[in-house]
Structure 1
Amino acid sequence: MRRVSLMLLVAFIAAQAIGLVTGWNFIAQQVSVVDNPADIGNSVFLFGYILVGTAAILVLLKYYHGKKLFLLIELLLEFSAMQLFISMFASELVALVGAALLLGLRLGLPQTRGAFLLFAASVVGALLGSSLDIIPAVILSLMLADYDAIAVFGTKHMVTMAKGLDERGAAFAVSLKHKKESIQLGTGDFVIPVLLSVSALKLSALDAVFVVCGGFAGLILMIYVLERHKGYWPALPPIVGGALLFLLVRVVALP
C-alpha cells in the first residue's frame, strides 16, 4: 500500500475520532437540526437538500469562472464548524472569537487547509449523526451511496464537478501528498461515515466501534481498487457498505 494511502487511512480514523467526541457532546446536549430524529422523512429532506446543493454548484461552475466565491463558501463552512465545536465548551462570544482566530490561522497557513476541511467534515458529520436516529441515518447513507455511484459511473456529473472545483482550487476534498504520490477524498466521504458512527453511538459505544471498523474496511477496499485502476471512483458505496455490514454483524451475532 502506498504511503499516501496509509495517510488517508489515518485521516479517516482521525475524522472518526473527532466526530465521535463531538457527537457524544452533541447527543448529551441534545443538539439537532431536526425536530424528530426518528422521522425517516428527515432522510428524504436532507437527501433533497444535498441534491439541490450539488445542482447549485454545477450551475456556478458553468456560469461563474472565478475562485473567490468558492473560497468564501469553504471558509464559511470551516468557520461554522469551528464555532459550533467551541460553543460546546464555551460561551457564544468565545466561540465566535476562537473561530475567527482559527480562521485567521487557516488563511495565514494555507498548508493547513486539509486539516481544517477534515475537522469541518467531522463536525458536520457529528451534527447530522446527532440529529438522526439509526434508521433515518442508514436510509440517508444508502441513498447517498447509490447516488454517488450513479453520479460517478452513470451521469458522471460528480466527475465534472470534481474537475471544475479542482481547477478553481476549491475541491472541497482532503488532499494528501507524499513525494510524487497523491490521493484525494471528498469531504462528503468523511461526513457520511461520521454521521453513521455518531448515530450508532446513540445505541451503544460498541455499535459505533463496529460502524467505524466497517467503514475503515470499506475504505481499504476502495484504496485497493484505486491503486490498481486509476481514475474517479465513488468512495461512499464501499465505505457505507462496510459500515452497515459490520453493524448488521454486531446486531445479529452480538445482540
Structure 2
Amino acid sequence: MSSEKSFLKNYAPIFAMAGIILAVQFLSLFLAQPMTAEGMQAFENPDSTANSLYYIVIILIFTFFLLVALKKNLQWVIQLVILLAVASTIYYVFIALLSSVTDSNSMINAVSLFLSIVLTVLLYKFPEWYVINTVGLIIGAGASAIFGISLSIIPVLVLLSLLAIYDAISVYKTKHMIDLAEGVMDLRLPILFVIPKKLSYSFIKDTFKKEEGEEREAFFMGLGDAVMPTILVVSANVFLAKYSPLQCFGISYPSIGAMIGTLVGYSALMVFVMKGKPQAGLPFLNTGVILGYAVGVIISGIPFY
C-alpha cells in the first residue's frame, strides 16, 4: 500500500503535466479557426523566416528586462507587465470563442473584457495553483494558436530549433533562466503550471525555499514548455491540412504526429527531471514535436512544407 501511495505521489503529477500539454494543444487547435476568421495573425507574411528571428529578439529583450527588474527589486513592474499581457491574451481568446456563438460585436467585446478583467483580478488576489493553471491553460492555448496561425512550417521549425539551443544555453551554461525562474516564482504569475503532489498543497503559502535534499511539494513546468511545441501542432494543421488526405476529427496526420512527438519528448525529459536536477525542456520537447511532425508528413505522403 505504501509503495502504491509513493508511486501516485511521484508519478501522478507527471501524467497530469502531460495532460495539461495535451489540453493546451487541443484548445489551441480549436481556437485556430475562429482566430484566423477574426484576423488575429501576428505577422502579415507567415512564410517569412524573419518573423522567427524577430520573435527570438523579442524574447531576448524581454528576458533581459526581467533580469534587470529583478536585480533592481522592481518586482511590481514585472507583475504589472505580465498581468497586462495576461489580460490582453484572455481578452483575445474569448473574442475568438464568442465570435463562433454570436455576431454581436458589442456583446462579444463587453463579455470578453469583463471575463479578462475578472480572471486577471482573481489571479492577482488569489493566485492559488488551480487559478494559475486555469489562466495558464487559457493564455497558453491562445498564444499557441495566434503564433501557429501566423507562422508557416519553415519559420516555425527555425523558431523551435533556435529556442531549443537558447534554452539549453540559458539552463546549462549561463544558468540565467534558472535564476529568472527562481526570482519570478514568488510573484505567483501564470508563467508556469503547478502540479501538487497532494491536494492540500497551497501555492500561495509555499515559500519555495527548500534545504538541500528536501523534496518539493509540487512539480513545476514552464508555460513555454507547453506553448512552443504547440505552435508547430497548430501550424501543421492550418498550413498543411489542405494537402493532407488523412485526417482524424479534423486534425491532420502531421499535426497528430507532432502531438505524439511532443509527448515522446516530454517522456524523455521526465527521465532526467526525476533525477532531481533542473532541465531545459525545449531541447527535448521541440526535438520530439519536430520528429513527430516529420513522421506524420511521411505517413500522409505530402510535402514536408
TM-score with structure 1 setting the length = 0.92
Deviations 1:170-204, CA, capped at 9 Å, x for gaps: 47211211236421111111111221111111112
The structure number with the bigger radius of gyration is 2
CA distance in 2 between partners of 1:159 and 1:212 (Å): 27
Residue 254 of structure 2: aligned partner: 207
CA distance in 2 between partners of 1:23 and 1:213 (Å): 19
Matched residues, percent identical? 26
Instruction: Note if contact 2:127-2:189 (Cα within 8 Å) is conserved in structure 1.
Output: no
Instruction: Give the superposition deviation at 1:62.
Output: 0.8
2:295 aligned to 244, 249, 252, which one? 249
Alignment of 1:114 with 2:133, yes or no, is yes
Instruction: Give the superposition deviation at 1:6.
Output: 1.3
Residue 268 of structure 2: aligned partner: 221
Structure 1 runs of 4+ with >6 Å offset: none
Residue 175 of structure 1: aligned partner: 194
Instruction: Give the superposition deviation at 1:243.
Output: 0.7
Instruction: Give the superposition deviation at 1:66.
Output: 4.8
Alignment of 1:127 with 2:146, yes or no, is yes
Q: 1:157 to 1:210 in 2, by over 3 A?
A: same
Instruction: Note if contact 2:127-2:188 (Cα within 8 Å) is conserved in structure 1.
Output: no
Residue 165 of structure 1: aligned partner: 184
Alignment of 1:190 with 2:226, yes or no, is yes
Work out the number of aligned pairs and report it.
253
Name the aligned partner's letter for residue 207 of structure 1: P
Unaligned runs of 5+ in 2: 1-9, 100-107, 199-215, 242-251
Residue 74 of structure 1: aligned partner: 82
Q: 1:127 to 1:139 in 2, by over 3 A?
A: same
More contact order relative to length (CA 8 Å, sep ≥ 6): 1
CA distance in 2 between partners of 1:164 and 1:109 (Å): 19
Unaligned runs of 5+ in 1: none
Instruction: Note if contact 1:165-1:171 (Cα within 8 Å) is conserved in structure 2.
Output: no
Residue 146 of structure 1: aligned partner: 165
Deviations 1:57-79, CA, capped at 9 Å, x for gaps: 1111111x254333323322221
TM-score with structure 2 setting the length = 0.78
Larger helix proportion, structure 1 or 2?
A: 1
Alignment of 1:53 with 2:100, yes or no, is no
